[in-house]
Amino acid sequence: MGVVLEAVNVVRHFGAVKACDDLSVQLQEGQTVGIVGPNGSGKTTFVNIVTGYVKPTGGQIRFKGDSIIGLEPRKIANLGITRSFQVPQLYTSLTILENMLIALSIRSKQQWGFWRPLRSAARLEEASRLLADFGFTDGIDHKASTLPEGGRKLLDVALSFALQPTILLLDEPTSGVSVDDKFAVMDTLMGVVKHSAITAVFIEHDMDVVARYADRVLVFSEGTILADGTSAEVFANPAVRTHVLGEGV
C-alpha cells in the first residue's frame, strides 16, 4: 500500500496555543484511520490544514508526492481530498436528492453546464443508488433541512463520498448524534467507505467507536501525535491512558 498523504513537521500556532506542533504522519492507501485526543489537541486543525482551510506556519504536506500547501480548499477537493464537517454543511433549501445531484455534477466536472438538465437519467440513477447506500431510501424528495441530525451527518458524508475522493476526512461524524443512533450512523457510513479504496480519516471522541472501525488510531495531544498504531496497541499505551483516556496510573 502506497503512501497517499504525508505531513512533515507541520506547525501551526494560534497565539500561544500549539494546534499543530511539529506534526509528522503518513497515511496509506485504503486505510481507515481514527483520530482521538482531548479538545484542543489539534485534531480539527489537522483536518483544516489538509483541506486548505488553515495555512500552516511551517512544514510540508504532500498528497501523492506533490505539495498541497497554500492551495485553496476547492483545488484540494479537486485533487481528491474531501471532507465532512462537524456541523453538517448541506444545501438546506434543496432536496436530499438535489444535494446529491449537485455533488455528482461537480464530480463529473459538469457543474458549468447550463443546457442539459441536472436531473439526467444516469445522474438520477447514480444519486439514488448512492443515497440508498447511505440509508436514504424514502423521502429523498424532501428538503435537506427536514432531516434529523443523524441524517444530516450522513448526508454530509455521503456528499463528500460521492465526489470519489482518494482521501475522505470526517470531522466528528457522530457528534450531535444520539447515543442510540451512533453505531447505526457509523455502521452505515463505514460500511460504504470500507468497501471502497478510499483512505478514510475520522475524528472521534468515543473510544468504543474508534476501536470498532479504525484500522489505525492516531492519538493527538498538544498538537503532536502521542501514539500511533492499532486500537489495541494505542489504548494499551500508558501515556495515552493518562493523557487521553484520563485514567489514573
Partner 1 sequence: MTLDQDAAVARDAGVGRDARFRSDAESEPPGDRPVSPRARRARFERGRLIALAILAVLALLPFLGMPGWLLFLLTIAFSKGLVVLGVVLLLRGDLVSFGHGLYYAAGAYTVGLLLRAGFPVRDAFPLAVLGGVVAALVAALVGLFLARYRGIFFGMLSTAFSMILYSLLLKLYWVTGGTDGIAVRVPTTLGIQPSADLIRVVQYYFVLAIAAGVAYLAYRVVNSPLGFLMRGINDNEIRVEYMGASVRRAIYQTYVLAGALGGLGGALVAVTVGHIAPDLAYWTASGEFIFIALLGGSGSVFAPFIGATVFEMVRNYAFKLSPYTWQMLLGSVLLVIILFAPGGLWSIIERLTQRAAARRAAAADPGTGAGDDKGRGWALSSKP
Per-residue cell: 64: 501523492
In what order do the strands lie in the sheet containing 58-63?
A: 17-28, 3-14, 58-63, 66-67
Which C-beta is closer to partner 1: that of 62 or that of 142?
Answer: 142
Which residue has 470531522 as its cell numbers?
171
Between CA 183 and CA 32 the distance in angstroms is 16
Site residues for partner 1, window 180-199 (CB under 8 A)? 181, 184-185, 187-189, 191-192, 195-197
Out of 58, 70, 117, 238, name the contact with partner 1 by CB under 8 A: 117
Please give the Cα distance from 85 to 56 (Å, whole number): 20
**Which CB atom, from 191 or from 238, has the smaller least distance to partner 1?**
191
- Which one of 112, 179, 246, 248 is in contact with partner 1 (CB under 8 A)? 112
Q: Which residue in 101, 127, 203, 234 binds partner 1 (CB under 8 A)?
A: 101
Label the pairing between strands 167-170 and 199-203. Answer: parallel
d(CA 7, CA 22): 10
Residue range at the interface with partner 1 (CB under 8 A); choices 41-49, 159-167, 207-215, 218-226 = 159-167
The helix/strand/coil state of 118 is coil
Which positions from 209 through 248 interact with partner 1, judged by CB under 8 A? none
Residue 13 interacts with partner 1 (CB under 8 A): yes or no = no
Alpha-carbon gap, residue 235 to 80, rounded angstroms: 31
73 interacts with partner 1 by CB under 8 A:
yes
The minimum distance between CB 188 and partner 1, in angstroms, equals 5
From 9, 26, 110, 242, residue interacting with partner 1 (rule: CB under 8 A): 110
Per rule CB under 8 A, is residue 132 in the interface with partner 1?
yes
For residue 32, the SS3 value is strand
User: Considering the complex, what minimum distance in angstroms separates the CB of residue 117 from partner 1?
Assistant: 5
Question: Could you say whether residue 146 binds partner 1 (CB under 8 A)?
Answer: yes
Identify which of 56, 59, 73, 47 has the alpha carbon closest to the alpha carbon of residue 13.
56
Which residue shows C-alpha cell 479504525? 214
Q: Give the CB-side neighbour count of residue 117, counting CA atoms within 13 A.
A: 7
Residues 35-64 that bind partner 1 (CB under 8 A): 51
178 touches partner 1 (CB under 8 A): no
CB 203 to partner 1: min, Å: 16
Stretch in the footprint of partner 1 (CB under 8 A) among 7-15, 61-69, 123-131, 208-216: 123-131
- For residue 52, give the DSSP letter: T
